[in-house]
Amino acid sequence: MTARRPTARRTARERANRGPAAGTRAATAPRAPARRRRRTRRSRLYWALRAAAAAVLLPVVAVAGVNGWVRLVASGRVYDRLDAVPYNDVGLLLGTSPRVKDGRPNAFFEYRMDAAAELYHAGKIRHVLVSGGNPSQWYNESRDMERALVARGVPRSAVTRDYAGYRTLDSVLRAQAIFGQRRFTIISQPGHNRRAVFLARRWGIDAVAYNARDVGGRAAWQQLGRETLACVKAALDAYVLDTQPRYYGRPEVIRLD
């Protein structure tokens, strides 16, 4: 009787049952360390990516949180409607340049002047404290604001100039420390108003704000970026650094007509 030749299927099964040959085992032995090295590299990459994501996200979350805090503190004290603004003797008009770099009129400036004149003519304030920087004889924000208000029908006698309002913090704190005002209405664009009210509340000043018309287009996005970072600086100034105005000086009396 002729012996049956093993089929290819049986031969493969027998090899599988016997296990790998010595030469095969020796060839495959290094695979385990290689897999461990690959896992180690993947683990390092994973944690590096997590650290990079945290480095990006944590500052974003912190900035967003501070801006939310500023909004919360100013909530209920910033007004869009003229008829809703409560009466105060004095309005604090925050300064900016009357012209942009290319010489065109600055819409932020014009809209603030309009808002201050509206408050005065509506009887919501009796006097305007114009506060801005005066770094040289050629640049004087408070002088330019006074002229703009007079051109809008506000009597010169109803305007007082603060020459040392170099920053929002300076303007707000000097209104109290130099000009004796513990209650007043701040006048600027919405984001700026919220930040100014936030600073006023920190130092116990009872301030509200009236929103001047905002500016659209590219300037609006640029202003949003500046205000977002300025809110962080305001929080640091108020609660960490205890920043004070650049100048104080002798007290001045605002004479109400």
- The pLDDT tens digits for 1-25 are 455 555 555 555 555 555 555 555 5
Q: Which residue has the higher pLDDT, 189 or 257?
A: 189
Handedness of CA 165, 167, 173, 176 (dihedral sign): positive
Domains assigned to the chain: 77-241 (3.40.50.620)
pLDDT tens-digit map of 149-208: 999 999 999 999 999 999 999 999 999 999 999 999 999 999 999 999 999 999 999 999
Residue with tokens 């049956």: 4
Q: Which residue has the higher pLDDT, 95 or 32?
A: 95
Q: Which helix (H) or strand (E) holds 69?
A: helix 31-74
pLDDT tens-digit map of 56-102: 778 888 899 999 999 999 999 999 999 999 999 999 999 999 999 88
Predicted structure pTM score? 0.79
Burial tier of 62 (Cβ tally within 10 Å: 0-12, 13-18, 19+): exposed
Residue with tokens 């290689």: 34
Q: Are 195 and 226 in contact (CB under 8 A)?
A: no
Split at pLDDT 50, 70, 90, the class of 31 is low
pLDDT at 245: 96
Q: Are 197 and 74 in contact (CB under 8 A)?
A: yes
pLDDT at 136: 77
Q: Are 130 and 210 in contact (CB under 8 A)?
A: no
pLDDT tens-digit map of 198-237: 999 999 999 999 999 999 888 888 888 999 999 999 999 9
Q: Are 78 and 209 in contact (CB under 8 A)?
A: yes
**Phi, psi angle pair for 74, to nearest 5°:** -85, -10
Residue 186 pairs in a beta bridge with 92, 209
Is the model's pLDDT at 55 over the cut of 80? no
Q: How far apart are CA 38 and CA 17, in angstroms?
A: 31
Q: What is the mean pLDDT of the chain?
A: 88
3-state class (DSSP) for residue 139? strand
Q: Are 228 and 63 in contact (CB under 8 A)?
A: yes
Look up residue 204 and give its two tokens.
């116990």
Which residues, at least 6 apart from 181, have a Cβ–Cβ distance to it below 8 Å?
89, 90, 92, 129, 175, 205, 254
**Phi, psi angle pair for 228, to nearest 5°:** -60, -45
pLDDT at 86: 98
pLDDT at 51: 80
Q: Are 90 and 125 in contact (CB under 8 A)?
A: yes
